[in-house]
A and B are shown apart, each in its own frame.
Chain A
Amino acid sequence: MAISFEPAENSLRARDFYHELATEHMRPISRKYDTQEHDLPVEWVDHYWNHVRDNTPANDGPSDGFVQVCIQAEELCWGDAGLYLRSPTAALGGSAVSAAGTPEQKERFLKPFRGKGQPIWGAMAITEANAGSDSAAIETTAELDEETGEYLLNGTKIFCTAGEGASQVEGGFVVVWATVDKSAGRGGIKSFVVPAGTPGMKLVGLEKKLGIRVSDTATLVFEDCRVPAANLLGRAEVKKKDPKKSGDKGFKGAMATFDASRPIVAAMAVGVGRASLDFLKEELERQGVTIRYDAPPREQTALERDVIEMEAELQAARLLTWRAASMMNRGKPNSLEASMAKAKAGLSVTRITQKAVELLGPLGYSRKLLVEKWMRDAKINDIYEGTQQINQLIVARRILEYASSMLR
């Protein structure tokens, strides 16, 4: 292998396929479900479940592997980031099961997502009111009932993406983080698969948000919610804190799922940013304004310079994302690169979409068009899956070779 920026054939096919899907099936309903916040986007969900899954391009021949997943995420979020998040998939819950589950657990929880019947969702519930970026501070408990061999979950989870679908529609599931032993700190944190409809898991609300309004961001309450011990992902035993050794391997393992998810979130961000930039450039073209890449800076208009900077920022973010993804293909540790991509993409698309609204004047600000929506949708990328600051912190610790105790 060598440095190459040429996507594999099947990545190009996938890109075309998802681009058409985004154009034909997402964009036309974008505004409707932004306005009708919390309504289930039935057209999209049905189409995705009944047609998209059966018709995705075959992955034969050489593959870009994880980079292709990023290309897919970019295209679909170019279409609509909220609808992408509301697609009936196992999502992050599925990633957790894939990463830490036994073969039996994978079969049990993931197989329904390959089946027919009604659309279903998976989700992951981590965040709590007092534990956002500091996810080791979670207070939700999981207590083993020795008699029944079940765990009793108690606590409240907020900001659970796809939480409505995953908790309510039979066949889906929510992966919940809870502590089995508070005294063990991070070592006591385990994740549990809670099937939709499990008694004691209640959907108590959906957030009204700045953007990605069609995405169901749920608050879930767990009250003596019983799950069999067989639903615990990973090992049951708790490694107590050992001053000589880090006793939080389980937690670190859970954090490692972010190495896989952050490049995807970065790619999603790039998709939203590109939507704005594409629209801006098309509008400029309609008005006879062309971007002169070969004009000296002193002759370029402020508009041209802004567009060139936006394009450079977007492309840098995209390439950092692909780099982090390609390292996964090679089985290389990528937590530094994944955080770099996420930090760069989150910040640059926030700026790009905000700039697009500015440059387009009333067209940018208008709710008759989608640019203002993209600006609202983009901002979440600088917040979830690790805020800008959390990712800077991770990058800083890695480049300085500091443990978290050295740089807080």
Chain B
Amino acid sequence: MIDFEPTEEQQLIIETVQAFAQNEIRPRARDAEESAKCPSEVLSAAHELGLVANALPEEFGGGGERSAVTGVLIAEELAWGDLALALGILAPSLAALPVLDFGTDEQKQEILPASIERPVAPTTLALVEPRFDFDPFRPTTSAKSDGGDFIIDGSKCMVPWLEGVESVLVSAADAQGAQLFQVPCDAPGLKIAPDDYMGIRALPTISLTLEGVRVSGNARVGAAQGCDHAALVNRGRVGLAALAVGVSRAAFELSRDYAKERHAFGVPIATKQAIAFKLADMAIEIDGLRMLTWEAAWKLDAGDDVTREAALAIDQARRVALQVADGSVQVFGGHGYVREYLPELLLRNARGFASFEALTLI
């Protein structure tokens, strides 16, 4: 039956994460952005909530409650607080979920407990490549078989790189197509340089250059079977769409409240249709995006191929997030342009959805 009501349990999770976003994330968002630092106390506090751990199996120390629908509900609330910090909080999903879904027993033993025990997972994911025609489904980075080993060449960027990272899952094309390879940080031929982006500045990210990096055959996620790389990209897109809902909702709510406060010509500017209709459109578009996101997540939970649904959701997410964030700057007028308020930050973050892929997984 068709229904749009979260379960009581999910409702409780939403309320908990909303409170966390309001009390712990939002107040730190601006400072974190200005100082380009992800506050470790936020990561620790979020870790206590077990947001990622709860989705992982009990045998590795998780809660055993995997649900993409719950995942998107959580992601929206966190991103409402701040996108960069939400990405930092959800970063353990980047290695844990692909390994859970496709990894060998050995890989699961190595990566899952470590992703659950610590606020910052020791393994991260490198998918995006620094080129305008980057295709997440078909990386240009290559992995050539050499004896039992693989030799990896290519470059990556936008890799979340919080303190304590020891290895990175690099997406690269081998004879079977796109796959993931676990590369230790100290592997010869691996070079790391910090990124520098317009937004999400509180999330440290790096660029990777791989020149003839040799990894053993065991480093391939899923060994001979490999992984369903497309499914991974789709999970990333659904997650990003949910984060875009959160960012958009933040921009909308700030604009709505400001428009009711701000007086011009003797009345609140919200009483003018030009402003009121802009706010109405924001609300409608955000809800439409949320519904598309929920549907894609629900299909993920049903085990369906969601390539089309994920494409629709991310297409809308890129458009809606930018439109709403731009609208928030407009509603705030000059105040939207100054860094004392959040709209300018939201606009910079919102534009990022056109470039982001697999910065969190659902």
- A pairs with B: yes
A2 within 8 A of B: yes
One digit per residue, 1 when the CB lies within 8 angstroms of any chain A CB and 0 when it does not, for chain B 159-180 equals 0000000000000000000000
Residue of B nearest to A397 (CB): B276
Contact of A308 among B7, B294, B298, B311 (CB under 8 A): B311
Residue of A nearest to B308 (CB): A293
Contact of A400 among B233, B270, B281, B311 (CB under 8 A): B270
Instruction: Tell me whether A343 and B284 are in contact (CB under 8 A).
Output: yes
CB contact list, A58-83 vs B, under 8 A = 62-64, 67
One digit per residue, 1 when the CB lies within 8 angstroms of any chain B CB and 0 when it does not, for chain A 88-114 equals 000000000000000000000000000
Instruction: Tell me whether B2 and A7 are in contact (CB under 8 A).
Output: yes
In the complex, what distance in Å separates the CA atom of A323 from the CA atom of B2? 9
On chain B, the number of residues with a Cβ less than 8 Å from chain A's Cβ atoms is 51
In the complex, what distance in Å separates the CA atom of A388 from the CA atom of B85? 38
In the complex, what distance in Å separates the CA atom of A326 from the CA atom of B283? 19
Contacts of A320 in B (CB 8 A): 284, 287-288, 291
Instruction: Tell me whether A316 and B1 are in contact (CB under 8 A).
Output: no
Instruction: Tell me whether B133 and A298 are in contact (CB under 8 A).
Output: yes
Instruction: Tell me whether A308 and B295 are in contact (CB under 8 A).
Output: no
Instruction: Tell me whether B312 and A312 are in contact (CB under 8 A).
Output: yes
CB contact list, B1-52 vs A, under 8 A = 1-7, 10
**Closest beta carbon of chain A to B324's beta carbon, Å:** 13
Instruction: Tell me whether B312 and A396 are in contact (CB under 8 A).
Output: no
Instruction: Tell me whether A6 and B284 are in contact (CB under 8 A).
Output: no
In the complex, what distance in Å separates the CA atom of A395 from the CA atom of B315? 24
CB contact list, B293-339 vs A, under 8 A = 294-295, 298-299, 302, 307-308, 310-313, 315-316, 319
Instruction: Tell me whether A2 and B6 are in contact (CB under 8 A).
Output: yes
CB contact list, B111-149 vs A, under 8 A = 132-137
A371 within 8 A of B: no
A183 within 8 A of B: no
**Closest beta carbon of chain B to A387's beta carbon, Å:** 12
Contacts of B279 in A (CB 8 A): 396, 399-400
Instruction: Tell me whether B280 and A399 are in contact (CB under 8 A).
Output: yes
Question: Known contacts A294-B311, A298-B132; is A5 also within 8 Å of B276 by CB?
Answer: no
CB contact list, A109-168 vs B, under 8 A = none
Contacts of B308 in A (CB 8 A): 293, 311
In the complex, what distance in Å separates the CA atom of A385 from the CA atom of B361? 42
Contacts of A2 in B (CB 8 A): 3, 5-7, 10, 69
Contacts of B136 in A (CB 8 A): 296
Question: Known contacts A2-B6, A396-B277; is A8 also within 8 Å of B271 by CB?
Answer: no
Question: Known contacts A319-B292, A402-B271; is A395 also within 8 Å of B283 by CB?
Answer: yes
B289 within 8 A of A: yes
Contact of A399 among B69, B283, B311 (CB under 8 A): B283
Instruction: Tell me whether A5 and B295 are in contact (CB under 8 A).
Output: yes
- Chain A contact surface mostly: helix
Contacts of B298 in A (CB 8 A): 3-5
**Closest beta carbon of chain B to A67's beta carbon, Å:** 5
In the complex, what distance in Å separates the CA atom of A194 from the CA atom of B152? 80
In the complex, what distance in Å separates the CA atom of A326 from the CA atom of B135? 38
Question: Known contacts A294-B230, A399-B283, A406-B271; is A317 also within 8 Å of B5 by CB?
Answer: no
Question: Known contacts A8-B1, A309-B315, A320-B287; is A402 also within 8 Å of B280 by CB?
Answer: no
Instruction: Tell me whether A293 and B4 are in contact (CB under 8 A).
Output: no
Contact of B3 among A3, A11, A294, A312 (CB under 8 A): A3
One digit per residue, 1 when the CB lies within 8 angstroms of any chain B CB and 0 when it does not, for chain A 373-408 equals 000000000000000010011011101101000110
Contacts of B288 in A (CB 8 A): 316-317, 319-320, 344
Instruction: Tell me whether A4 and B283 are in contact (CB under 8 A).
Output: no
A222 within 8 A of B: no
**Closest beta carbon of chain B to A297's beta carbon, Å:** 8
Contacts of A402 in B (CB 8 A): 270-271, 276
In the complex, what distance in Å separates the CA atom of A389 from the CA atom of B298? 33
Residue of B nearest to A401 (CB): B260
Contacts of B201 in A (CB 8 A): none
Counting chain B CB atoms within 10 Å of each CB, the highest count among A297, A312, A389, A395 belongs to: A312
Contacts of B220 in A (CB 8 A): none
Contact of A311 among B2, B270, B289, B312 (CB under 8 A): B312
A1 within 8 A of B: yes
Contacts of B294 in A (CB 8 A): 3, 5, 319
Residue of A nearest to B313 (CB): A312
Contacts of A317 in B (CB 8 A): 288
A54 within 8 A of B: no
Contacts of B354 in A (CB 8 A): 297
In the complex, what distance in Å separates the CA atom of A407 from the CA atom of B274? 11
In the complex, what distance in Å separates the CA atom of A344 from the CA atom of B284? 7
Residue of A nearest to B297 (CB): A3
Instruction: Tell me whether B284 and A395 are in contact (CB under 8 A).
Output: yes
In the complex, what distance in Å separates the CA atom of A407 from the CA atom of B292? 31
Contacts of A399 in B (CB 8 A): 256, 279-280, 283
Enumerate the 10 nearest inter-chain pairs by beta-carbon distance, A residue then B residue, closest first: A316-B288, A319-B291, A396-B276, A293-B311, A312-B312, A395-B280, A396-B280, A296-B135, A392-B280, A2-B7
Given contacts A62-B1, A294-B233, 6 further A-B contacts (CB under 8 A): A3-B6, A5-B298, A298-B132, A316-B316, A344-B285, A396-B273
By a beta-carbon cutoff of 8 Å, the part of chain A in contact with chain B is 1-8, 11, 62-64, 67, 293-299, 308-309, 311-313, 315-317, 319-320, 322-323, 326-327, 330, 337, 340, 343-344, 389, 392-393, 395-397, 399-400, 402, 406-407
Q: Give 23 pairs: A residue, B residue, CB < 8 Å, sorted on A.
A: A2-B10, A3-B6, A4-B298, A11-B2, A293-B308, A294-B311, A296-B133, A308-B312, A311-B312, A313-B316, A315-B295, A317-B288, A320-B291, A340-B284, A396-B273, A396-B280, A399-B280, A400-B260, A400-B270, A400-B279, A402-B271, A407-B273, A407-B276
